[in-house]
Structure 1
Amino acid sequence: MTRNVLHSSLLNAGFSIIFQIICRFVTFGINAFIVRNVGRDVLGVMNVRLLLLESTLLFLSREAINRAALSATSQQKDKCSWPQLINQMWLTVPTCIALCIPCTYIWLDVLTPVDDHLKSQYKFACYAVALSCVIELCAEAPVFLTQVFCFVKLKIFLNTLHIMVRSALFIWIVLKDHSIAIDAFAIAQLASAIVIFIGHYAFFYFYIKRLNEHKSNKKNDQKEDDPMFQSMDDFPFQRLSELLPFYMENKDTYFNPKLQILTLSFIKQGVLKQILTEGEKYVMSMSPVLSFSEQATYDVVNNLGSLAARFIFRPIEESSYFYFTQTISRDVQLEKQNIAKVHEAGNVLKTLCIGVTSIGLLAFTFGQSYSHTLLLIYGGADFVAGGLPESLLKWHCLAICFMAVNGITEGYMFATNTSKDIDKYNYLMAIFSISFLILSYILTSVFGPVGFIFANCINMFCRICYSTKFILHQYRPLGMNPLLGIIPGNLFILALITTGLLSKYSMITMNSLLVHVGIGFVGVSVCLCCWGIEHLDLLKMAWKKGKQLKIKKT
């Protein structure tokens, strides 16, 4: 395809960051409303138990299939046909249905029971969440096309519409009756899934129709300079029905065997990754370590502490994974690939490491002085009473540093690993997963909810060690070391230490909240200026690239 993968990846990351910010503001507003008006128990049921069910079903149903299919679109050797890829994406639906049966049983009859007055609502919500996952995955084929052909604006628009419909419907129902908050959550989930389904198929219906008209006019020498269809002459679909499963016009087999092998490797990896990602929620749900109220407190603090991960790290990781899969071949050594592309990928990886590490250190430094302030504004004096939320958030800022490095290095490794390497890593992931669950239970029994954060930090540190070793070994023959980006500059470190100490002094001595926040704002600004001075060449390059893309677009 003639699309600019790097440009589209950067654009996707930028729009995704904006989308995540909007979504988090909406979600935080709803959570604050529930904490103050409905109760923490209800928030714990929705945000821990029910969202865990949604996360489990969606992740296990599509993550492995999607990652394998993305790799297949970029490899010339043994490349899959489009009907095979569409069939591959439709596998997510029966997979989800098969998972719904045991998962709903476990959520209803095995996990720690909810309070009696919430049981009927909780039962309805479990079924509704399962059904919404199936509906959402019925749109996975057009979602995949949106990603592969870089329809960035469509992705952001529909994701924004999805979250807005879910939030607006939930608030509208709850404002009428606070006692049916869980029912409102379930109805909102179903409605938003239907929006995703209709939105994607409606867009591609009209897009394919207009694309066919554009090709017809071009064939008849009727000039039509429509920017929507530039570089899309290779779009392989002529009818919406071709996005349905088992639509085959040639003698291809329904599925590509080699793609299934890669998918199986990602499935084993996906199960383990899901345990690592949501491990603390599984521990909370399967054992009476914390009450639903305490679970809600941990979830609120976890969401606040994960602002950087959700706003910045996750969009960057998703876009960089897509970029690396399209740039680096899995089964060919780097020195035998296109050297220009390999050097570009190495420089991109180094730049990403510089950016995310700096963000993580900023969050850790200023989180020690502004955790109490943020929680006080968010949940009120009653919420911060006792000091547990503040302690959780401070330690979570340490975890952000590990998240920053682990997300990029492990994402690169997953994007460039061979199937054999992935299988090898799966064994380590199994050890990491089991160790994480055991550590979570032990450390939580000793330190309380903070133990989840300690266990997570230890786990991510082990994974970082493995992925960095892989990257060093891969780039050593080329004389490159993209991991140098993990080490921040001396001026930036000095600025962090100085401003961090001043902010801590301000927290202890200042009585004015406004002055304390102002000192933090100045401190962050100084750190960013020092970072910019040390990486002036990087800023100039980004500015130059931006101007070139703007000129090219016009």
Structure 2
Amino acid sequence: MARNILASSLQNASFSIIFQIFCRCITFAINAFIVRSIGRDVLGITNVRLLLLESTLLFLSKEAIFRAALSSKHNKHCNWAQLINQLWITVPICCLLSIPCLYIWLRWLSAVEDHFYVQYRFGCYAIAFSCIIELFAEVPIFVSQVFCFVKLKVVMDTTHIFIRSFVFIAIVLLNKTITIYAFGIAQIISALTIIVGNYGFFYVYIPRLDHYRIESKKVDDKYELRKTFGNHYENMDDFPFQSIKDMFPGSLPNPNPTFNSDLKLLVLSFAKQGILKQVLTEGEKYVMSVSPVLTFSEQATYDVVNNMGSLAARFIFRPIEDSSYFYFTQTIARDVDLSQQNQKKVNEACLVLSYVCKTVTSIGLLGLVFGQSYSGTILLLYGGADFVEGGLPEVLLRWHSLAIVLLAINGVTEGYMFATNTSKQIDTYNYYMAVFSVAFLMLSYKLTNWIGPVGFILANCFNMGCRTSYSLYYIYTNFRKIGLNPLSSFLPGSMFLVVLITCGFVCKISESYFRGHSILYHMLIGVLCISVSLLTWSFENRQLLRTGLTKYRERKLSLTYDSN
């Protein structure tokens, strides 16, 4: 396909970061409203128990299939008909998984108080139903990502969050006693918007593309095509759909078997890995739900602090991880040795991996240093004096800032590993993931009983450290064969580290002096120190910024001139 994968990945990451900020701002506002007006118990039920059900169903139903489908570019024996058939399997899988999950959530997990149970039961059924509805749009979502419809993804995600939040707030303002009902209804309505929006776009786009195909036969010059039709002409030859009907199973002509055998093996490998990764990602919530180590109120406190501590992960790291994974899957072939691949692409991938790792590590260190001085202030502004009373939320957030550093490194390095692993390598890693999962769950349970909610964070740090070490070793051995080492410039420079540590001490002094007198002055000093740190990093990484600016300019120029 005539498109710049790196430029599209960078654009996707940029838009995703903006969307995540928008999304988190809305979510934080809603959570603050619930904490201050309704109570922490309700927040614990919705944000821990019900969202855990949603995460479990969606992750287990689609993650392995979607990731395997993205890797199909390098599989010459896989066609679009097989991909469509495979993606539609997510719907019956979700239906089947809903039965045991609903039974577990309603019968096995720690009991919900009687006056919440009826609403809780409705919420569980609503979450399962909304997940099934959402998966009906998996094909157009996949198509939009493969053909780099970045703006469509951003618009749809934003609309989805906006409608869900609007419906939820509207119902709660009418009656605060039915908050869990409102949560379930909002989930269903927002899932419907995903279907309508994605299919609606292609219902309009495909006829227009057909018109462009007809008109393009009259124009030979690509510059004139781009000037007349924008970027649509780039997708004309490769876009396989003639109508919305083609996005349903069995519609496209398929001379091959219904499913691709190589892709099925890759899906199985990702599925085994996905189960383990889900346990590692949401392990503390599973422990909370299965064992009554924390009340729903304490779970809500932990969830609020966890979300706040994971701001960088949700705003920045996850979009970068997703875009990096997409870039590496489109650039590096899984089953071909790096020495036998296009060396220009391999060198570019090595450089991108090095730059991205350095960037996310620097962001993680910023969170670690400034989190020690501003955790209490942020929580006070967010939840009020009652929320921070006792000091537990502040302690949790400070420890979370340590996990941010490990999370930053792990996301990108593991993303590269998953994007380039063969099925055999994925299966090998699954055994290690199983060991990590068991160790993580045992540590979570034991440490939480000994030292409270901080135990979850320490167990997660141990888990992230193990996973990061494995992925770093894989990257080192993978590139060593061709004489490259993206880890050689993995860490930030010494000037940035010195300035960052100095600013950390300054902010600590500011906290001890100004926090009880003037929060404003304390915040201003923090802004100043962060600015100095960022300027130092920018100066020390001038080459990285020049490279990013060059790629941005190349993408702009491609709107006018043909890019080969």
Tell me the TM-score normalized by structure 1: 0.98
Matches within 5 A, 1:410-449: 410-449=414-453
Paired with 2:554 and 2:153, the residues of 1 have a C-alpha distance of: 25
Name 1:261's counterpart in structure 2: 265
User: Using a 3 Å threshold, how does the CA distance of structure 1 residues 361 and 250 change in structure 2: closer, same or farther?
Assistant: closer
Q: Does 1:490 align with 2:488?
A: no
- Kindly state the Cα deviation for residue 484 of structure 1 after the two structures are TM-superposed: 2.6
Matches within 5 A, 1:385-400: 385-400=389-404
- Kindly state the Cα deviation for residue 546 of structure 1 after the two structures are TM-superposed: 2.2
Name 1:405's counterpart in structure 2: 409
Paired with 2:552 and 2:422, the residues of 1 have a C-alpha distance of: 34
Name 2:528's counterpart in structure 1: 522
Paired with 2:188 and 2:151, the residues of 1 have a C-alpha distance of: 24
Name 1:31's counterpart in structure 2: 31
Matches within 5 A, 1:253-402: 253-402=257-406
Is the contact made by 2:81 and 2:254 (CA closer than 8 Å) also made in structure 1? no
User: Using a 3 Å threshold, how does the CA distance of structure 1 residues 229 and 31 change in structure 2: closer, same or farther?
Assistant: same
- Out of 543, 547, 550, the position equivalent to 2:549 is 543
Which range moved further: 77-86 or 455-464? Answer: 77-86
Unaligned runs of 5+ in 1: none
Matches within 5 A, 1:80-479: 80-219=78-217, 225-233=228-236, 234-479=238-483
Is the contact made by 2:358 and 2:490 (CA closer than 8 Å) also made in structure 1? yes
- Kindly state the Cα deviation for residue 549 of structure 1 after the two structures are TM-superposed: 2.3
Paired with 2:43 and 2:325, the residues of 1 have a C-alpha distance of: 33
Name 1:2's counterpart in structure 2: 2
Unaligned runs of 5+ in 2: none
Q: Which amino acid aligns with 1:358?
A: S
Is the contact made by 1:84 and 1:256 (CA closer than 8 Å) also made in structure 2? yes
- Kindly state the Cα deviation for residue 248 of structure 1 after the two structures are TM-superposed: 4.0
SS of the residue 2:15 aligns to: helix
SS of the residue 1:371 aligns to: helix
Q: Which amino acid aligns with 1:88?
A: Q
Paired with 1:485 and 1:244, the residues of 2 have a C-alpha distance of: 47
- Kindly state the Cα deviation for residue 296 of structure 1 after the two structures are TM-superposed: 0.1
- Kindly state the Cα deviation for residue 481 of structure 1 after the two structures are TM-superposed: 1.2
- Kindly state the Cα deviation for residue 538 of structure 1 after the two structures are TM-superposed: 1.4
Paired with 1:58 and 1:43, the residues of 2 have a C-alpha distance of: 21
Paired with 2:249 and 2:546, the residues of 1 have a C-alpha distance of: 48
Paired with 2:540 and 2:252, the residues of 1 have a C-alpha distance of: 56
Paired with 1:9 and 1:150, the residues of 2 have a C-alpha distance of: 8
Paired with 1:464 and 1:123, the residues of 2 have a C-alpha distance of: 39
Q: Which amino acid aligns with 2:123?
A: A
Q: Does 1:48 align with 2:48?
A: yes
Q: Which amino acid aligns with 2:230?
A: P
- Kindly state the Cα deviation for residue 487 of structure 1 after the two structures are TM-superposed: 1.7
- Out of 519, 539, 551, the position equivalent to 1:513 is 519
Paired with 2:554 and 2:426, the residues of 1 have a C-alpha distance of: 38
- Kindly state the Cα deviation for residue 228 of structure 1 after the two structures are TM-superposed: 4.5
Paired with 1:253 and 1:3, the residues of 2 have a C-alpha distance of: 30
- Kindly state the Cα deviation for residue 221 of structure 1 after the two structures are TM-superposed: 5.7
SS of the residue 1:478 aligns to: coil
- Kindly state the Cα deviation for residue 246 of structure 1 after the two structures are TM-superposed: 1.9
Is the contact made by 1:68 and 1:263 (CA closer than 8 Å) also made in structure 2? yes
SS of the residue 1:231 aligns to: helix
CA shift digits 1:513-538 (9 cap, x unpaired): 11111111111111111111111121
User: Using a 3 Å threshold, how does the CA distance of structure 1 residues 417 and 250 change in structure 2: closer, same or farther?
Assistant: closer
User: Across the two proteins, how many residue pairs are aligned to each other?
Assistant: 552
Paired with 1:82 and 1:551, the residues of 2 have a C-alpha distance of: 31
Paired with 2:361 and 2:278, the residues of 1 have a C-alpha distance of: 24
Is the contact made by 1:365 and 1:496 (CA closer than 8 Å) also made in structure 2? yes
SS of the residue 1:132 aligns to: helix
Paired with 2:12 and 2:30, the residues of 1 have a C-alpha distance of: 27
Is the contact made by 1:405 and 1:486 (CA closer than 8 Å) also made in structure 2? no
Q: Which amino acid aligns with 2:525?
A: I
Is the contact made by 1:409 and 1:468 (CA closer than 8 Å) also made in structure 2? yes
CA shift digits 1:209-228 (9 cap, x unpaired): 11112112233569862114
Is the contact made by 1:352 and 1:485 (CA closer than 8 Å) also made in structure 2? no
Moved over 3 A (4+): 219-224
Q: Which amino acid aligns with 2:234?
A: S
Is the contact made by 2:80 and 2:240 (CA closer than 8 Å) also made in structure 1? yes
Q: Which amino acid aligns with 1:103?
A: C
- Kindly state the Cα deviation for residue 6 of structure 1 after the two structures are TM-superposed: 0.6
CA shift digits 1:442-463 (9 cap, x unpaired): 0101110000000000011011
Paired with 2:150 and 2:333, the residues of 1 have a C-alpha distance of: 24
Is the contact made by 1:60 and 1:267 (CA closer than 8 Å) also made in structure 2? yes
Paired with 1:353 and 1:314, the residues of 2 have a C-alpha distance of: 13
Paired with 2:69 and 2:548, the residues of 1 have a C-alpha distance of: 31
Identity of counterpart residues, as a percentage? 59
Paired with 1:326 and 1:507, the residues of 2 have a C-alpha distance of: 47
Which range moved further: 141-150 or 544-553? Answer: 544-553
- Kindly state the Cα deviation for residue 477 of structure 1 after the two structures are TM-superposed: 2.0
Paired with 2:213 and 2:294, the residues of 1 have a C-alpha distance of: 61
Is the contact made by 1:111 and 1:286 (CA closer than 8 Å) also made in structure 2? yes
SS of the residue 2:558 aligns to: helix
- Kindly state the Cα deviation for residue 309 of structure 1 after the two structures are TM-superposed: 0.0
- Out of 489, 503, 507, the position equivalent to 1:503 is 507
Q: Which amino acid aligns with 1:209?
A: P
CA shift digits 1:65-97 (9 cap, x unpaired): 00001001x20x443110100011001001100
Q: Which amino acid aligns with 1:389?
A: P
Is the contact made by 2:230 and 2:559 (CA closer than 8 Å) also made in structure 1? no
SS of the residue 1:80 aligns to: coil
Paired with 1:481 and 1:362, the residues of 2 have a C-alpha distance of: 25
- Kindly state the Cα deviation for residue 239 of structure 1 after the two structures are TM-superposed: 1.4
